[in-house]
Amino acid sequence: MGLYGVMRTGVSGMSAQSNKLSTVADNIANVNTTGYKRASTEFSSLILRSGSGSYNSGGVDTQVRYAITDAGPLQYTTSATDLAVQGNGFFIVSSPQGTPYLTRAGSFVPDGEGNLVNAAGYYLMGYNLANGAPSVVANGVAGLEVVNIAQTALQGNPSTLATLVNANLDSNAPISAGPPNFTSKTSLITYDNIGNKVTLDIYMYKTAANTWDIEVYNNADSTAGGFPYSSAPLANDTFTFDVSATGKGALDAASPTSLAMTIPGGSAFTLDLSVMTQVATDFEFKANVDGNAPSSIDSVEVSSDGTMYAIYGDGTRKATYRIPLATVASPDNLSPEVGNVYSVSTNSGNMQVDFAGSSGLGTVKSEALEQSNVDLANELTSMIESQRGYTANSKVFQTGADLLDVLVNLKR
Amino acid sequence: MSLTVALSSARSSLMATGMQTAVIARNTAGAQLEGYSRKNVLVATLPGNGVYVAGVQRAASAGLFNNVLVAASATAKQDALYNGLQKIAATTLDDPELDQSPTAQLAKLKSALQQYATSPDNATLAQAAVTTAKGVATALNDASKTVQSVRADADADMATSVTNINQLLAQFETVNTSIVKGTIAGSDISDYLDMRDNILSKLSQEIGISVATRTNNDMVIYTDSGVTMFETSARSVSYTPTNAYTPATTGNAVYIDGVPVTGANAVMPVHTGKLVGLATLRDDAAVTYQNQLDEVARGLIEAFAEVDQSGAALPDVPGLFTYAGAPAMPAAGVINVGLAAAITVNPSVDQNAGGNPSLLRDGGISGNPAYTYNTTGEAGFSDRLQALVDGLATSRPFDPSALGKPNASLVDFAGSSASWLESQRKSASDEASYNQTLLERSADALSNVNGVNMDDEMSFMLQVERTFSATSKLISTIDGMLKDLLDAVR
């Protein structure tokens, strides 16, 4: 073997160093690529069996490694659809042909149809929440669809419930003669099935000590905003208050605690009055009502658990998609593909899908991008290393060639 | 990754200092601005990657702001009331040189009658007495007119106030929606919050309000009596102005969300604000003063009434002072609404109107000889004139609801009316200055919390500048290190 072996070993060394230089070149080229994961080379020796008196030089074998689990630093941006994963896990994206891939590059922007697509042309996948909670398939991508933030059909939500923050009826108010001589009045805006505002006029009459009648009318039936109303009250009931040392002005145990009605053109509506009191202070009635009017989507936001919300013009928000994260048993063994995406291989293990923040997965960070995990200083030193290594190997080759030359020249 | 991370941290530091500088600039620009509150940048550490700007926060105190709102409403109410009373008093009480007040005119009439009584045959004195009587009637007519014009002005101001309230509520709706949206989206809403507070300040000048905040910074406005003004959307505030006022006119009430909140029939009456001050003036203070003027007029007609001298038991009739209802006397002891505006001197004693001033001495001003006191036609007859002078000093009942002395002589009652007006004006003025002080103190306290302190801003700017320089230095150092490395590659 002798000299030929030396030359082959030199070639194997040069080829190994050029592999190393190639990874350095890629790393430096992608130093600012969002979601890029550093490639590196590991070498292993190939030593041939040698006798005690002679040495047969072998070679070096190159293994390419990808630092996929090594997270890059986050860079803050101002776009709500720029997403980054903090912790383990990958976004599931699909190529235009529909093949699923994993990626950490989350610079998504809506395309002409409102589908979120990243810089490499891959579409973000998520569960559509339009039909309620999604059913997650833990080991596959079934049920996922391309996340779309285009205007969905304008749709309001009818009001169904009003809850009190606090409410008090003035215990010292004089006894009222009954409708239309109310003691106190307030009103609430609710929404019917098609999103019209329906104003409910709520009248309180103190009919006897600690006894109040509450009537709810539809404001649309009023005369100049008050009595007389052209239709009967939507709901009415008599509420009594417990003024004993235990009750301290809260609703009596025997008293009703809510009013149920159907909003004209709307849904069944409950006015929960359970926290109402009757103590010696001014009238007060502060309530929260659900429901919203139809309005267009103003912006979107993504919460840390991956839920994408549409924010409507009137300030209400609605969950539209849930973006899951996926991971594999050995992320570093994923096969890199063009566009910072990774495909599942036998080495990496199967894809496991779950929501962000659960089963060891990281959280989704909106308005941030994961930068490349390449460190320039590191790459430059590697480059010098490989350059020196390559030169040394070429010297070995050249020396082998020179010696062969000497050998050949022995015969004249 | 150390060098790259160092660069990235330095960049995040530059970003944060940039944001801090922007906010210092905003604070400096807003330092002299009414309703501007100081903004702070919330800088948070990002593990392993420097710092990031978590948001912009504004310095605010809901409790102190609420104090300012309450004080502003109370001040606006008393100011409106005081200004109206001042207008009435300026033309009726505060004119010592012209002696336009009904009290001064009554005193003049009394002395003219006394002089005439000492020489009842003097036609010049007779005419002088009639002239002062006309002065009294005119003073009452003018005072009544002033009161009604003040009511009409208050009514017009109420209409303006209601228009303002509706406009402010409409603006509030826009700003509130932006705040709710911004809160959900997590954007910088601090300037919108300033705008919303500004609108609330303006609104509190017009009407007393109480506010509550719901989820997502959604604000609800109620009047201080609990009527809903704004909840998701603005409620209607409606008011029909009345253009012309007579003493019998009752102004319309202001309705909020269908509930009357001003006037006698208010179900949930509002307590403070300019609107309430104007309504109190129009429906309460001015009406009471008008009632007092009417009572003075009724007292005058009664004091100068003529009694049947023929023994036929004829009813009393108005004498020197008369009104549209003559020959019947105004009902005794109760307010005859509008009498002060209608009282006149009987033309049969007015020389200018072809009358005879000496009828004052003789009686029979109404034209019926049955009421003639001086049946013999004596030129020195002074009994009737003496009786008239006494009549001015005789105690007579007045309607207690007029809030003057219920049982007093005419001159005393007129005096009590003047002092009632003066005391109302004084108490309104005292309340106004008390509330003004309270408002200033509350505003000072709030300003201490949310105001911009230029010294603080400037020293903070120096700190930011130092951080920026240090970061820049860091970047150039890292750059130098990378350059050294690149030079090593040959």
Is residue A393 over pLDDT 90? yes
Indicate the pLDDT class of residue B382, thresholds 50, 70 and 90: confident
Is residue A1 over pLDDT 60? no
Residues A61, A66, A70, A76, CA torsion sign: positive
Bridge partner residues of A125 (DSSP): A146
Mean pLDDT of the region B147-153: 93
List CB contacts (< 8 A) between B19 and chain A: none
Chain segment B428-441, per-residue pLDDT in tens: 999 999 999 999 99
Q: B338 or A298, which is more confident?
A: B338
Amino acid type, A390:
Y
List CB contacts (< 8 A) between A168 and chain B: none
The first and second tokens of residue B383, run together, are 């009994």
Q: List, as one string, the DSSP characters of B35-58.
A: T---EEEEEEE-TTS-EEEEEEEE
Residues B107, B112, B113, B114, CA torsion sign: positive
Measured from the Cβ of residue B97, the count of other Cβ atoms closer than 10 Å reads: 5
Residue B29 CB contacts under 8 Å (≥ 6 apart), including other chains: none
Domain boundaries, chain A: 2-70+373-411, 74-150+320-370, 161-289
Question: Measured between CB atoms, which of B1, B15, B489 is closest to A384?
Answer: B489
CA angle in degrees (0–180, nearest 5) for B486-A384-B476: 25
Mean pLDDT of the region A59-80: 88
Contact (Cβ atoms closer than 8 angstroms) between residue B92 and residue B294: no
Measured from the Cβ of residue B418, the count of other Cβ atoms closer than 10 Å reads: 20
CA dist A353 and A137 (Å) reads: 7
Mean pLDDT of chain A: 88
Nearest CA in chain B to A174: B267
Question: Cα(first)–Cα(last) distance of chain A, in Å?
Answer: 23
Nearest CA in chain B to A313: B181
Chain segment B274-284, per-residue pLDDT in tens: 999 999 999 99
Residues of chain A with pLDDT > 70, as a percent, come to 98
**Nearest by Cα to B68 from B429, B432, B445:** B445
Amino acid type, B28:
T
Contact (Cβ atoms closer than 8 angstroms) between residue A270 and residue A188: no
CA dist A278 and A304 (Å) reads: 43
CA dist B431 and B426 (Å) reads: 8
Any CB–CB contact under 8 A between A159 and chain B? no
CA dist A351 and A329 (Å) reads: 8
Q: Given this model, what pLDDT does residue B294 score?
A: 92
Determine how β-strand B255-256 pairs with β-strand B237-238: antiparallel
Q: Given this model, what pLDDT does residue B490 score?
A: 67
Question: For residue B318, what is the enclosing H or E element?
Answer: none
Chain segment B61-83, per-residue pLDDT in tens: 888 999 999 999 999 999 999 99
Mean pLDDT of the region B255-280: 90
Is residue B240 over pLDDT 60? yes
**Nearest by Cα to A103 from A116, A115, A120:** A120
Residue whose tokens read 């074998």: A61
Instruction: Calculate the CA B363 to chain-centre distance.
Output: 48
Instruction: Calculate the CA B385 to chain-centre distance.
Output: 46
**Nearest by Cα to A102 from A304, A372, A332:** A332
The first and second tokens of residue A256, run together, are 């009703």
Q: Given this model, what pLDDT does residue B312 score?
A: 82
Name the phi and psi angles at B49, rounded to 5.
Answer: -145, 35
Give the closest-approach CA distance of B243 to chain A in angstroms. Answer: 21
Residue A41 CB contacts under 8 Å (≥ 6 apart), including other chains: A16, A19, A20, A23, A62, A63, A64, A65
Name the phi and psi angles at A275, rounded to 5.
Answer: -95, 5
Indicate the pLDDT class of residue B163, thresholds 50, 70 and 90: very high
Mean pLDDT of the region B308-333: 86
ipTM of the shown complex: 0.74
List CB contacts (< 8 A) between A299 and chain B: 185
Mean pLDDT of the region B444-467: 91
**Nearest by Cα to A31 from B46, B13, B8:** B8
CATH fold for the domain made of A161-289 = Tick-borne Encephalitis virus Glycoprotein; domain 1 (2.60.98)
Q: Given this model, what pLDDT does residue B78 score?
A: 93
Any CB–CB contact under 8 A between A201 and chain B? yes
Beta-carbon-side half-sphere exposure of residue A4 (alpha carbons within 13 Å)? 1
Are the beta carbons of B215 and A288 separated by less than 8 Å? yes
Q: Given this model, what pLDDT does residue B295 score?
A: 92
Residue whose tokens read 């420097």: B50
CA dist B370 and B314 (Å) reads: 8
Q: Given this model, what pLDDT does residue B1 score?
A: 52
Q: Given this model, what pLDDT does residue A41 score?
A: 93
Question: Measured between CB atoms, which of A31, A314, A375 is closest to B2?
Answer: A375
Q: Given this model, what pLDDT does residue A152 score?
A: 65
Indicate the pLDDT class of residue A74, thresholds 50, 70 and 90: confident
Q: Given this model, what pLDDT does residue B97 score?
A: 62
Measured from the Cβ of residue B384, the count of other Cβ atoms closer than 10 Å reads: 21
Is residue B135 over pLDDT 80? yes
Mean pLDDT is lowest, of A66-75, B89-98, B107-116, B460-469, for B89-98
Mean pLDDT of the region B453-472: 93
Is residue B39 over pLDDT 60? yes
Nearest CA in chain B to A78: B187
The first and second tokens of residue B89, run together, are 């008093």
Are the beta carbons of A165 and B214 separated by less than 8 Å? yes
